[in-house]
Amino acid sequence: MSVSTANFSIDPSGPAPLLVTLDGVTQPVPALWLREQSRDATQLDLVSDQRLFDPHRLALDLSIVDARVDAGHVFARFSDGHEERFALDELAIAIDPDDGCPDPIAWRTDLGSPPRHDWRCLGDPTGLEAALHDFLAYGAIVVHDSPTSELTVLDIATRFGYVRETNFGRYFDVRSMPRANDLAYTTVPLGPHTDNPYRVPTPGIQLLHCLVNETSGGLSTLVDAIAVTDQLRAEDPEGLDLLIDTVVRFHFRDDDTALDSHRPIVDVDHRRRVTGLRYSPRLDHIPLMSNEQTHAYHCARFRLAELLADPAFAIKFLLNAGEAMVFSNDRVLHGRTGFDPQEGMRHLQGCYIDHDAPRSRYCVLRRNLTRSFASLAPKG
Ligand SMILES: [Fe+2]
């Protein structure tokens, strides 16, 4: 919903004097809702933007006893004696369920490759804001022209957020090794998957930085879970609902670690829009259900797997030395083609960060850049 779609009006003859119209639907504004939006200095700490009262202590029978709408504001007097002029743009922001970040743009194979951003521009607010915008919209970007020195991946990560340490450490090396505890450390092809579905929370964002790639194989593959689940919803909405609502068990074991999570394969946000998947078909275990439920779930999961493997959804490209993929671990499934280690070295380093920091940095950069541009505007 756009904040510009909220319109406030007065209904002096009705039981609630203040009305709001959203997308053509008009409803009364509850007094309890409006009262807790207070931005009066007696009700809100204006430095921290944190409330100075407990809204659950407001009287249940609180009412708006007088209301007026004038240019850009709503004036309201409440039955508890509080009165305030509320700015309409502030109320519209309070109604808007979104946070100001770009909406996801679903993509298929015709995207070609993720948007590319020069590492040397990420120290500049405008360059970083552009990279964050594309990451939030597409779920994946490639950072190019970065150094090929070890641990550069951590420097790139800190441009976007905070490195999340796991039992694999602050970073991990991706190259073939004997007796590997994960297939990532072999030369076999890897189908589209998300990392660490057994972890709570799962790592939000993954970075893979290429130090050296002398092989002709080992292409990186990415698939957009939003595009795939859009297709599944169009074909079989009940099947998609099963994948959203059925809790599956994921687990990981090695000598030092025992991790379990119980989560659905398909994740949705507060508006039931798909945000991503937990998908690693070597690690998921369905719950004990009736035979009918099991068959229905199996069909939905099978179709999801078919779509994830459909070349129409995949982009495939060679990650060269000095390039790093930054991708949403849950929204964008990753994989790679097999490679022949006899051709030469292939060495990537990876790490994880969470989703919150890039979203915050984007919002703060937008706010600061908007202020900067406003200060540059001619004064008249
Ligand atoms: Fe992986």
pLDDT per residue, tens digit, the chain (380 aa), is: 444 578 888 887 777 788 999 888 999 999 999 999 999 999 999 999 999 999 999 999 999 999 999 888 999 999 999 999 999 989 988 888 788 899 999 999 999 999 999 999 999 999 999 999 999 999 999 999 999 999 999 999 999 999 999 998 999 999 865 455 566 656 678 899 999 999 999 999 999 999 998 888 889 999 999 999 999 999 999 999 999 999 999 999 999 999 999 999 999 999 999 999 999 998 899 999 999 999 999 999 999 999 999 999 999 999 999 999 999 999 999 998 887 778 888 899 999 999 999 999 999 999 888 777 666 666 55
Record the tokens describing residue 320, joined without a space: 């060269």
The alpha carbon of 175 and the centre of ligand 1 are apart by a number of angstroms equal to 12
The alpha carbon of 360 and the centre of ligand 1 are apart by a number of angstroms equal to 26
Say how many C-beta atoms besides its own lie within 10 A of residue 35's C-beta: 22
pTM of the model: 0.88
Query: Tell me, what's the pLDDT at 93?
Result: 86
Record the tokens describing residue 38, joined without a space: 């207070």
The alpha carbon of 194 and the centre of ligand 1 are apart by a number of angstroms equal to 6
The alpha carbon of 129 and the centre of ligand 1 are apart by a number of angstroms equal to 27
Which residue in the block uniquely carries the two structure tokens 């007065």?
10
The alpha carbon of 206 and the centre of ligand 1 are apart by a number of angstroms equal to 9
The alpha carbon of 183 and the centre of ligand 1 are apart by a number of angstroms equal to 9
Cβ 337 vs Cβ 219: under 8 Å: yes
Query: Tell me, what's the pLDDT at 3?
Result: 47
Record the tokens describing residue 364, joined without a space: 């703060």
Query: Tell me, what's the pLDDT at 352?
Result: 98
The alpha carbon of 45 and the centre of ligand 1 are apart by a number of angstroms equal to 45
The alpha carbon of 150 and the centre of ligand 1 are apart by a number of angstroms equal to 20
Amino acid at 184: A
The alpha carbon of 216 and the centre of ligand 1 are apart by a number of angstroms equal to 20
The alpha carbon of 310 and the centre of ligand 1 are apart by a number of angstroms equal to 19
Cβ 243 vs Cβ 237: under 8 Å: no
Query: Tell me, what's the pLDDT at 163?
Result: 97
Query: Tell me, what's the pLDDT at 1?
Result: 40
The alpha carbon of 182 and the centre of ligand 1 are apart by a number of angstroms equal to 9
Nearest to 277 by CA among 356, 196, 211: 196
Cβ 198 vs Cβ 250: under 8 Å: yes
The alpha carbon of 353 and the centre of ligand 1 are apart by a number of angstroms equal to 14
378: exposed, middle or buried (C-beta count within 10 Å: 0-12, 13-18, 19+)?
A: exposed
Say how many C-beta atoms besides its own lie within 10 A of residue 308's C-beta: 22
Nearest to 212 by CA among 355, 320, 117: 320
The alpha carbon of 335 and the centre of ligand 1 are apart by a number of angstroms equal to 7
- Secondary element (H or E) of residue 117: strand 116-118
The alpha carbon of 281 and the centre of ligand 1 are apart by a number of angstroms equal to 12
Biggest distance spanned by C-alpha atoms of the chain: 83
Cβ 338 vs Cβ 227: under 8 Å: no
Record the tokens describing residue 153, joined without a space: 């991946």
The alpha carbon of 114 and the centre of ligand 1 are apart by a number of angstroms equal to 17
The alpha carbon of 195 and the centre of ligand 1 are apart by a number of angstroms equal to 5
Which residue in the block uniquely carries the two structure tokens 């490639």?
142
The alpha carbon of 168 and the centre of ligand 1 are apart by a number of angstroms equal to 13
Cβ 265 vs Cβ 276: under 8 Å: no
Which residue in the block uniquely carries the two structure tokens 């022949």?
340
The alpha carbon of 307 and the centre of ligand 1 are apart by a number of angstroms equal to 19
